[in-house]
Amino acid sequence: MSESGSGFPSLRQYFTVEEYAARLVRVRQMMQQRGVELLIVADPSNIAWLTGYDGYSFYNHQCAVVAMEGEPVWYGRGLDLNGARATTYLANDNLVGYPEEYVQRDLHPMEHFAREVIQARGWERRVVGLEMDSFYFSAASFMTLRKSLPNTTWVDVNNLVNLARAVKSEAELEYMRIGGRILEKMYERVVEVAEPGVRKADVVAEIYSTAIRGVDGFAGDYPSIVPIVPSGIEAATPHLTWDDSVLVAGEGTFFEIAGVYRRYHCPVSRTVFLGKPPKKFLDAEKAVVEGIEAGLEVARPGNTCEDIARAFFDVMAKHGIKKAGRVGYPVGLSYPPDWGERTTSLRIGDQTVLQPGMTFHFMPGLWFDDWGIEITETIAITSTGVSCLSNVPRKMFVKE
């Protein structure tokens, strides 16, 4: 059992203090480049990455503050202070909670934050960066801050920390690999239980059970996106979840699921077809697998996100398949409602240069008018090329 900087005993500090210090150096360099003196982040993934805080409390107002010196400050509901002591490396003085009178009523927590964090530390005249397009930072939060701190200059630095997270450390990659091993067990169970007449709800129950039980003593974590499991004509769209309907012979169902360990996600999609698949499924499977292999061939340091997308699209064109948009996005540490990092994309026009340690969900799903197929991989750029972070057979699973 270790202790946090607050002296509170903890089993949940998953990285060294030295790694957190290196992350702060990276973020502060980016702050300087954008002319920001103080950074407020509300995205729970970014809060966790900067401080270690891990709790299901992001439905309340909370944030982390990074100045150009010293530790970050964690700010959240007072009831969660012991959670911050248990999971962060921060000293007690840098953990600030707001009282219950500010929880979901006419008083806004950002009033308390402005007074007890910003003004109390003499930061009210600084240039402050905000995540203006975060799921977790509301318009009311900004309006309250602006009213409470009239001498502060506000700058939108949305995704600054998300971009700083792009290159993963070896510890982060190892957590994603463990997620990949959990995912392998999940797909073994999916293929085992998927049969005509079985309720989707029961298949998803097996997915969750396998995911949380984990593998080799590593307990799985909850995913930021719930299992996506559309069948038949519903598979023409990428984001439908389960219901109480049953699996049907002669239909394909794709499963978009993730193995998760310590909040690090390894998502992969596979299609399961019950019965003899028609030619269109077999042709699409062949094209997608070939396209993924072409993308992996160019996924190496020095190439770009666009290079992966272009290689995939060239194969689609050869097979006469039209597909637009992106074919992937960065993944890693995340909280609901999204396991993507919402920065770069594997798409035409994205000239982001690939670096060792970058991780992507290479996600070239195909959705047609009345059916769809998904075969995807989570990949990590290495010093010499690319590796897949799970070993789920790259094919459509057929159960005749």
CB contact set of 153 (below 8 Å; sequence gap of 6+): 126, 127, 128
Within 157-232, residue ranges assigned H as helices are 160-164, 170-193, 200-213
* HSE-CB of 356 using CA atoms within 13 angstroms: 6
Q: What percentage of the chain carries pLDDT values higher than 90? A: 96
The torsion angles phi and psi of 398, rounded to 5 degrees, stand at -115, 125
Report the DSSP beta bridge partners of residue 271: 254
Integer angstrom CA distances of residue 261 from 105, 108, 181, 283? 35, 34, 10, 35
Give the per-residue pLDDT at 2. Answer: 61
pLDDT tier, 11 (very low <50, low <70, confident <90, very high otherwise): low
Within 167-299, residue ranges assigned H as helices are 170-193, 200-213, 279-298
Give the DSSP per-residue string, 353-384. BP-TTBEEEE---EE-SS-EE---EEEEE-SS
pLDDT tens figures, 142-177? 999 999 999 999 999 999 999 999 999 999 999 999
- Statement: the pTM of the whole predicted model exceeds 0.75: yes
pLDDT tens figures, 274-308? 999 999 999 999 999 999 999 999 999 999 999 99
Give me the domains of the chain, ranges plus CATH numbers: 2-164 (3.40.350.10), 170-399 (3.90.230.10)
Give the per-residue pLDDT at 105. Answer: 87
Q: What is the mean pLDDT of the chain?
A: 96
